[in-house]
Amino acid sequence: MKIISTPDAPPSTSPVSQAVACNGFVFIGGQMPRDSLDGSIPVEPARQMALTLQHCRALLHAAGSGPERVALVTVFLTDLSIKPLVNEAFSKFFGAHRPARNLVEVSAIGEGAIVEVAMIAAL
């Protein structure tokens, strides 16, 4: 196993790794829409989704992978009404690639976030 980290994604506030590479895969832990510079979380749902995917992209690249190699995405939302926004962001992020996805509504994520994303990708 190899721990993957990058300054281009904010460090976890919990005692866990940003991502772990193991047996030809990279497992990206739940990424929140925290600004890498000041730790703030924007209010706008579109900006939260963009930041979260930006962090995932940075971790994929740090591991030697990319969006086109993502096999599974798990999205946690506090409000399913923004699902169209999530779909739009996914289309921009993944292009023609269509990974499997779990979309889970949760009562809270924390710190004002409305979205959290985890990924599994091939290396």
Q: Positive or negative, the Cα torsion across 76, 31, 53, 70? A: negative
Q: What is the pLDDT of residues 55-104, one digit of tens each?
A: 999 999 999 999 999 999 999 999 999 999 999 999 999 999 999 999 99
Token pair 């739940």: residue:
30
d(CA 93, CA 106): 23
pTM above 0.85, yes or no: yes
What is the count of structural domains for the chain? 1
Residue 19 binned pLDDT confidence (cut-offs 50, 70, 90): very high
Task: Report whether 82 contacts 114 (CB < 8 A).
Answer: yes
Query: Which DSSP category does 13 fall into?
Result: S
Domain range for 39 is 2-122
d(CA 27, CA 17): 10
Question: What CATH number should be reported for the domain holding residue 74?
Answer: 3.30.1330.40
